[in-house]
Amino acid sequence: MFGLKREKALVGLDIGSHAVKAVELRVRKKGKADFFEVARIGYEPLPHDAIVEGTIIDAAAVSETIRRLFDKSKIVNKDVVISISGNSVIIKRISLPAMEKDELTESIVWEAKHNIPYPYEETHVDYAILRPAAGADGQNLEILLVAAKKDKIAAYSGVVEQARKNLEAVEVDAFALTNALEVNYPDDFRDKITALLNVGASVTTIVICERGVPQLFRDLSIGGSYFIESIRKNFNVGPEDAEDMLRGAPSKAVPAYDLETLLGVNVKSLLEEVEKTFTFFEAEDKAQKKIEQIFLGGGLANLKNIAGSFEQKFGVKTILFDPFRTVFYNEKKLNPSYYQEMATFFGVATGLAIRQRGT
């Protein structure tokens, strides 16, 4: 799950509610060190309402969008890894006594049945053993328990198969983002308590890592679509016009001040939801824990002044997350707009492409 080396390249395919993103990486050598290079990259918007709040409504449209993305981006590698998020995915951090593998498997099943708000038979369950934190006594195993509803996995797997791609693995957005954070900001990942927020179209995924150890993952049901719907309702405009206004396009019908005021209200709502997660994390145990660095990714990260709003709210340095910070991107061979203007959209796809095959 958080590995860097791979036997063979996979295409990280991020199927979002608004667009499909794909990244294929290759491993290069520089002296004795390995580094990643973007081999192919692409972005393709989805038809309106093809996916609504993470639920696939028009499978044919989604699969066609995937095919079109691969064709336009000249991605010939058909081996992909995808991820899912939202309320169909449950991630819990649990602690169990050290035990043999067979006993551990039985304990994981028991924990899953008692910690998942869905019938066990309707979910796929997996787990990962975390490396111990500094100073840990080694008596207990810290485990990430992951459960996802089978029907959601089947729906997303189905559109990949319809697009005639080979699905190698299904991840969750939070783990992909953790991969991207570790590779691109190794010092912050290792030495600080960091929070990475990926503000997507329908879901905001929060990843909190404490000095190299993932501690908390949470998906909030608020994202760019919430902002677009708010603009649409308040100013009586169509969804496309609302989306353009969110991106900063001027509108003759809506004064800039009124739009800025409404967006400020929406950002406040997002901040309040994020604050609940931060407060939960910082109060989780008696130790004094405070988030020391915030990274913002996803399409909404490019909203004017949003990073400053986070800094003002939490008193923590907040920067835009760059999934290509240590990943080489050749602007002479690839569309430079993905690197210069759209990097924040590719956190999940890049993290998926980093994923080690077979883990």
Answer yes or no: is pLDDT of 14 > 70. yes
Query: Quick check: pTM over 0.85?
Result: yes
Report d(CA 60, CA 291) in Å as an integer.
43
Averaged pLDDT for residues 130-152: 79
Considering only the top CATH level, what class is 11-354? alpha beta
What tens digit of pLDDT does each residue of 255-270 get?
A: 999 999 999 999 999 9
What tens digit of pLDDT does each residue of 20-72 get?
A: 999 999 998 877 778 999 999 999 999 999 999 899 999 999 999 999 999 99
Provide the pLDDT confidence category of residue 140 given band limits of 50, 70 and 90: confident
Averaged pLDDT for residues 205-233: 95
What is the β-pairing status of strands 293-297 and 89-97?
Answer: unpaired
What is the β-pairing status of strands 89-97 and 140-149?
Answer: antiparallel
Overall residue count recorded for the chain in this entry: 359
Q: Which pLDDT score is estimated for 141?
A: 87
Report d(CA 148, CA 87) in Å as an integer.
9
328: DSSP letter: B
What tens digit of pLDDT does each residue of 76-91 get?
A: 999 999 999 999 999 9
Handedness of CA 230, 233, 239, 240 (dihedral sign): negative
Answer yes or no: is pLDDT of 292 > 60. yes
Answer yes or no: is pLDDT of 302 > 70. yes
Look at the block and give the residue holding tokens 């290069």. 28
What are the tokens at 213? 């150890």
What tens digit of pLDDT does each residue of 92-118 get?
A: 888 889 888 889 889 999 988 988 888
More confident residue, 201 or 1: 201
What tens digit of pLDDT does each residue of 169-218 get?
A: 999 999 999 999 999 999 999 999 999 999 999 999 999 999 998 999 99
Provide the pLDDT confidence category of residue 308 given band limits of 50, 70 and 90: very high
What are the tokens at 314? 């939490």
Answer yes or no: is pLDDT of 283 > 90. no
Report d(CA 169, CA 286) in Å as an integer.
38
